[in-house]
Amino acid sequence: MNKIPKCSSEEHRATFTTLIGISCGIIIGILLKNFTNQPWSERAIMYYQLPGEIFLRIINCLILPLIISSVVSASCHLSKSGSIGVKALYYYITTTTLGIILCVILVQTIKPGEYHINRNLTIISLQKFVTTDTFLDLLRNFIPDNFVKACLNQYQTVLSKPINSTAEENVHLWRISHQYIDGTNVLGLVGISLLFGIAIGCMDKKGKPLLNFFQALSDLTAIIMNWTIMAVPFGVLFLIPGKILQTNDLTEMIFQLGIYVSTVILGLLIHGLIVLPSLYFISTRQSPFRLLSKIGPAIITALGTSSSTATVPTTIKCLDSIGINPKVSRFVAPIGATINMDGIALYETVGALFIIQQRGLDYSLIRIVAIALVAHLIII
């Protein structure tokens, strides 16, 4: 692996300005929340969030051409893509396994749900599901039946309780139906793009015009991406205060969920600052701290947008600045943002176990591992 280049002043400036934007956003949100006589209406919050919403819409608009062009152009060479894909899959499985182990240790040690303040919590009715259906839905989404529909919707299996049935717990006896839910089927777009890229690679010279088209589209997206990244500090300045204003009672929420949030943050810090850097050091024998300084903009963008797919443009730019082969970065980054979301799975697992502990329900080590595995599958 090539040595990591030194950080440029522009990259430091982008990271610094984004941090300032996040800090100012938090301060503005708290000030607007606590120093206004009346609560903000939904319409007023909508007006305030409009610049940030436009910023997110631009990023989301880039995701579709970015994923398609990047994966197609990077997967044209079957032998190389196959090797990269196997290594990426091995890495994803490794980090997921380590994330599950870390989650189990934290929940068993801290027990965040036992530090409750109020047991009178509102129980939300959750949709029943079967783990097998989740696996099958992943396969169906990876191979969509309509490319255009994959840009707009995701496939989902729905279980409905039979009328006048007493089969409350045995969901395997429930009626099965299917529906399409709103949201881009990123997994399906990756699958179709892989197929297109491999096919173009098999066409040799005949596929060269198509390959040039997708590479040009990737370069075009990168140019717009660079413009968008410059607006990150401005976008988070409106997004973060809007989220704070939507909270009914900020002080009570922080007090009641403090242990839960602390557990999640501790898990994310351990996973992001100890586990993953250790894997990097073991694999490359290089210091991970230089790498962390180079990928700072991607981490900060993730904090500001709360979206893994929205961070893909910034992630690719950071990988390019490190010296990673563009074919590799544009192949791995979109897939990783789709199926390797350890942080989301960690906080969802801790959240589920937090509720179980608050309710005083029985749970075993096997059940904790099962919940963690299901959480990792669901977030895909």
Averaging pLDDT over each range in 53-62, 75-84, 129-138, 286-295, which range is the top one?
A: 53-62
- 262 pLDDT more than 70: yes
User: Which of 271, 227, 259, 284 minimizes the C-alpha distance to 353?
Assistant: 259
Query: Residue 341 above 50 pLDDT?
Result: yes
CA dihedral of 26, 32, 38, 44, whole degrees rounded to 10 = -90
> Does residue 290 or residue 13 have the better pLDDT?
290
The pLDDT confidence band at residue 306, using thresholds 50, 70 and 90, is low
Which residue's structure tokens are 């259906």? 133
Question: Residue 11: pLDDT band by 50, 70, 90 thresholds?
Answer: low
Neighbours of 237 (CB within 10 A): 21
CA distance 259 to 299: 23
Tens of pLDDT, residue by residue over 359-379, are 666 565 656 666 666 666 555
What backbone phi and psi angles, to 5 degrees, belong to 274? Answer: -120, -55
Can you give the pTM of this predicted structure? Answer: 0.58
Query: pLDDT-based confidence at 122, cuts 50/70/90?
Result: very low
6, pLDDT greater than 50: no
Structure confidence at residue 164 (pLDDT): 64
Mean pLDDT of 337-354: 73
Residue 327: C-alpha distances to residues 73, 75, 137 (Å): 7, 8, 29
- Cα separation, 347 vs 273, in Å, equals 16
DSSP letter (8 states) at residue 273: I
pLDDT tens track for 231-240? 888 888 888 8
Structural domains in the chain?
9-379 (1.10.3860.10)
Give me the mean pLDDT over the 40-51 stretch: 87
Pick the more confident residue, 198 or 358. Answer: 198
Q: Which pair of tokens denotes residue 41?
A: 């209406």
Looking at the predicted structure, is the pLDDT value of residue 117 above 70?
no
pLDDT at residue number 141: 85
Residue 149 has pLDDT above 60, yes or no: yes
